[in-house]
Amino acid sequence: MALNYIWITFFVATFLFALYETIFHGNIDIWTTIMTSSFDSAKTAFELSLGLTGVLSLWMGIMRIGEKGGVIQFFSRLVSPLFSRLFPGVPKNHPAMGSIFMNVSANMLGLDNAATPLGLKAMQQLQELNPKKDTATDAMLMFLILNASGLVLIPIGIMTYRASCGAANPTDVFIPILIATFVATVVGLVALCIKQRINLLDRVIIAWLLGLIAVIVGIVWFFSSLDPETMQRYSSFAANFLLLSVIIGFLVAGLRKRINVYNNFIEGAKDGFKTAVTIIPYLVAILVAIGMFRASGAMMLITDAIAAAVDAMGFDTNWVETLPTALMKPLSGTGSRGLMVDVCNTFGVDSLPARIAGCIQGSTDTTFYILAVYFGSVGISKTRYAVPFALLADAVGSITGIALAYFFFG
C-alpha cells in the first residue's frame, strides 16, 4: 500500500506545484514541460526494460545451468547458517538461499547488470514459497532491504564517472563510500531484524557481522596502500575476474553433472525474456511519476527551502548543493548519476560538493527502482513495510556519506 500512496503523492504534488507556478508566476509552459517529461519517462522505462532483456536472458540462462549443476545448492549450504536466521521462513538449503547469496555478492562487487537478474531469480524462488501471492513475505522484505541498502565493496561506477569528469584522484571517495554503505546496510538490517523479531545476539549473526567488518577493514587497508591508478585497475580486475569465474564455474559444474548445458541456458534465457516484459508496466508507473515530479520543479523548491534554512542557522551549505542527488537517489539511478555529474561540472570534480555527491551516490541503491522491478517481476502489490525501512537505509547512507566526505575532504 505504501507504494500506492507514494505514487499518487507524486502526481498530486506535481499538479499542485504546476498550478502554483501558473497562478503566481504565469508559467503556462510548465504543463507542456511536465507532459513531455511523462512521454520521455515512459520511453525511458521501456528502453530500460529492453536493455535489461539481453542481460536478463544471459544471466537467467547462466543461473539455470548453475541450478541444474548444483552450484546454487552449494551456495545455499554455504550461507545456510546465517541466512536460516535472517530468512527463517525459507527452508534450509532452499535454492533461494543460493540465489540471494549470488545477488548480494554481485551487488557488493558493484556489478549492477549481473546483480539484477540474480535478484529477480531469487524473488521468483521466494514467490514459490509465498502463500499469499500478492503480498510480500518477511523473507522478501529482508531481501529487498539488503538490496536497497546497497552494500558495495568496490564502487566501480562512481570511480569511473569521476575519472571521466577529469578527477585528479578518481578513487579518493572509495573508503568513505565503503564505510557509508556498510553503515546503511547494518542500520537497515538491524531495524528490520527488530521489526521481524530476529535475534540479533545469535552467535552466528554476530560472527558473520564481525567477519564482514574484518573484510571491510582489510579492503580499506589494502587499497589505501595503492596509488589511485593501481587501485582503480585492481578493483576493476577483481570484479570482472570474479564475474567471469562464476560463468566458467557454472559451465564446468553443468558438464560434471552431465546436463545439456546449452538447452538449459536457452530455457533460462526464455525466462529472462519473459521477466523483462513483465516488469515494463511497473517501471513505466514509477519512472513517469518521478519524471513529472522532477520536471515540475517541485524537487528544486524543496532543496532551495532546505538551503535557506541551513544558511539561516549559520551552518555550512556546501552539502546542500548535493541534496538533489540525495533526494533523487531512491527514485532514479540515472537521474541521481546525472545530478552527481552536474555537481562535478558546476563546482569542479575535485571540489567538496562533488566529493559529497559521489559519497551519496555510492552510499545506497535506487530504492523505488528495486521495489518496482523486484516486486513487479512476481506480481507483488502489497509491499507492507518495505518502503519506510528501505528509505531509512537510504537516509542513513546519505547522512553518513555527507559526514564522511566532510571528515575526509572538508
283 grid coordinates: 517501471
pLDDT the model gives residue 129: 93
pLDDT the model gives residue 340: 79
pLDDT the model gives residue 368: 84
pLDDT the model gives residue 273: 83
Band of pLDDT at residue 15, cut at 50, 70 and 90:
very high
pLDDT in tens, 108-123: 766 666 678 888 889 9
Contacts of 82 (CB under 8 A, 6+ apart): 204, 205, 208
Band of pLDDT at residue 40, cut at 50, 70 and 90:
confident
pLDDT the model gives residue 35: 93
DSSP secondary structure, 241-274, as one string: HHHHHHHHHHHHHHHHTT--HHHHHHHHHHHHHH
pLDDT the model gives residue 367: 84
Q: At what angle do helices 298-312 and 280-295 cross, to 10 degrees?
A: 50
Q: What is the mean pLDDT of residues 129-150?
A: 90
Task: Using alpha carbons, list the distances in angstroms from residue 310 to 300, 304, 355, 394.
Answer: 15, 10, 20, 21
Band of pLDDT at residue 128, cut at 50, 70 and 90:
very high
Nearest to 398 by CA among 250, 184, 185: 184
Nearest to 388 by CA among 145, 157, 159: 145
From 163-172, 209-218, 380-389, the region with the lowest mean pLDDT: 163-172
Q: Is the pLDDT of residue 1 over 60?
A: no
Band of pLDDT at residue 75, cut at 50, 70 and 90:
confident
Contacts of 37 (CB under 8 A, 6+ apart): 291, 292, 294, 295
pLDDT the model gives residue 131: 92
